[in-house]
Structure 1
C-alpha cells in the first residue's frame, strides 16, 4: 500500500527527471542526503489492510507449519490445504518474467489527470506481464479494476483507509492519487521527483502483486492460515510473509522492465537505496510488525529485482529470520 501522509510526515518522491549536468554527481549526492533525512522521518512502510480478501477474520486455532506442504498431520484440513497453496503454488514454477517493454509516461505527477494516466499505464503493463504467468499456473487471469480516490472510500474489504490498497473481495486497486501529488510537490529537485516516480511504480507493483496472490489463491490461503493461527505473533508473521512476497513480486516486474522503463542512474539509486532499503516496520515505531523490517524488505525486493523469478519470492518456505 502507498505511503501515509497524515500529520507532519514528509515524503520525497519523483517525476520526470531533469537532464543532468556535468556536476550532477555532486549535486545528486547532496539531494540524496535530503532524501535520506526525509525517508528516515516518514512512514514508508506499507500500512492498512491492503490485501483484504474474502476470508475469515484471524481468530483462535492452530497454525499449520509452513514449509511442509506434504505434512498431512499438522493443523486442520483447511490449514493443510492452505499451506500447500502458499508454499507450493504453481506460480513458483512459471520461470523468470520477460520484459513487456513497459515505458514510463513522461508526465509530472502534479495533478489528478497525470497521476491517473501514470498509474493506468503501469497497471496495463503489469497486466501484460502477469497474465501469462497466472495462466501458466493454470489459473484464470482477469485484470483488476482501478478506483482513484481521495478523502474517504468505502470498499467490501475495509473502511477508513488512509492510503492506497488492494481489496481481494472486489479485485480492485484503490489508489489515493492525492498522496502522489503531495509527494511530488514537496520539492522540485531531481532526487525528490525520482523518489516520487519510483515510489508510485513500486506501489502499483505491490498492490498488483496482491491481485496476483488473489488470482492464484495464495491470498485467500494466507488468510485461512491467519484465521487458524494460535496467537497474534503467528498472525503477524503470516502477514509479513504475504506483504514481503508482494514487494518481491513488485520488484520482479521492475527488474524485468528496468531497461525500457528507465530505472537507471539516479532513479536506480533511489529505488535501491530508499524504496527497497528504507521501507520497513521500523518507520512506524510502536506499530504492528505486519509488513517486515527494512532488512527483510531489502532482501526480498533485491531477490525479485535480480532474479526476475516468482520462485525467488516464496516467502512462505523461508525461515522466520528472513521475514522478520
Structure 2
C-alpha cells in the first residue's frame, strides 16, 4: 500500500503505555468489561452493540461518562507503526472531505486514540481484547496497534492494506454517525422486540461500514494511487477473517446465524467489494426495513 502522498494526521491522541485513572473502573464494572471483551473477541471487532445493550439493561439509554478520560499526547506519532495508522487516517480524512464536499456538506474529522491494553472512552472502559472500536459519544476511533499483529497471526490476514481496512471500517462508523444513520440504528436496536431482530440491525450497520471502507479504498486509489498488487486480496482476507461464521466456528465449533452481529465472511467480503467497485455511498444501503 502506497501512502507517500499523505502526511500523518494530527488528529491522533497517543495514550500508549498509560494506565487508566481509578484502576480501570468506568461506567461499567471492569469484570463486566472483561467478559464483554471475550465475547466481542469471539464475535467481531466492534464492541459498540454489546456495550450499548448492557447500558440499556442497566437502565441507561446512552453511554454516560462517570470518570475523567485520559489525556495522551496529541499529534502525529513518531514510531513507524503509529505513523502508518496516522497516514491511513489522513487518507480517510482527505477522501471523505472530498466526498462530502461534492455533496455540499462538510466532513468532521474523527480523532484516533492509540492505546495499550485498556482505555477509557466516553462509551465506557474497554479492553484491547475487544479489538478496534468507534465511540459515537466522543467521535473517536480507539485502536491498540497490537491488533494488527493479531490480525496477521490469529486471523491469518496479514498485510498493510488489511490493517488499513480495519481503520477504514471504524471510520465508516463515524461516517454513519455524522450523517445521522448510526443514532437511528441505535434507536431501532433499543426498540427491537427480540434479540434476533437487534442482532440483525447490528449486522446491517457493520456491513454498511464494510462497504464504506470499500468506498474509501476506491477513491483513495482513484485520486492517490494507494493500491499495490495484492492489496485488494489483503482487504478481502481481512473482511473474511472477521466474519461471524468463521469466528464462531473457531471459538466454539458451531455456527449460530441468529447470533451474528457483524455478518458472515461472505457478506462482509461482498459489501466491502461493492463499495470498492462502485465508489458510491448510495450503493452501501443495507438498511431497507431496518429503520
The verdict on how the C-alpha distance between 1:151 and 1:180 changes in structure 2, with shifts beyond 3 A counting, is same
Answering whether residue 133 of structure 2 is matched by residue 165 of structure 1, we say yes
Is 1:265 paired with 2:229?
yes
Residue in structure 2 matching 1:146, options 112, 123, 127: 112
Residues 296-317 of structure 1 deviation map (CA, whole Å, 9 limit, x = unaligned): 1122111101000001100002
Q: TM-score, normalised by structure 2?
A: 0.66
Tell me what 1:212 maps to.
175
Q: Which residue is 2:82 aligned to?
A: 116
Q: Runs of 5+ in structure 1 lacking a partner? A: 1-13, 17-42, 60-110, 187-191, 320-324
Q: Deviations over 1:133-184 (max 9, x none)?
A: 3455565532111210011111111323321111110101111112225556
Alignment of 1:169-180 (within 5 A): 169-180=137-148
Given candidates 289, 294, 305, the residue that maps to 2:276 is 305
Cα contact 1:277–1:295 (8 A) shared by 2: yes
Residue 195 (structure 1) aligned to one of 155, 158, 168: 158
Residue equivalent to 1:64: none
Q: TM-score, normalising length from structure 1? A: 0.60
Preserved CA contact (<8 Å) 1:112 1:177: no
Among residues 41, 44, 47, which one is paired with 1:46 in the alignment? Answer: 44
Q: Which moved more, 1:290-299 or 1:254-263?
A: 254-263
Separation in 2 of the partners of 1:56 and 1:222?
A: 16
**Whole-Å Cα distance in 1 between the matches of residues 88 and 49 of structure 2?**
19
Closer/same/farther in 2, CA of residues 44 and 265 from structure 1, 3 Å limit: farther
State the distance in 2 between where 1:314 and 1:230 align.
23
Mark the structure with the bigger radius of gyration.
Answer: 1
**1:245 equivalenced with 2:208 (yes/no):** yes
CA distance in 1, matches of 2:92, 2:190: 30
Give secondary structure in 2 for the equivalent of 1:206: helix
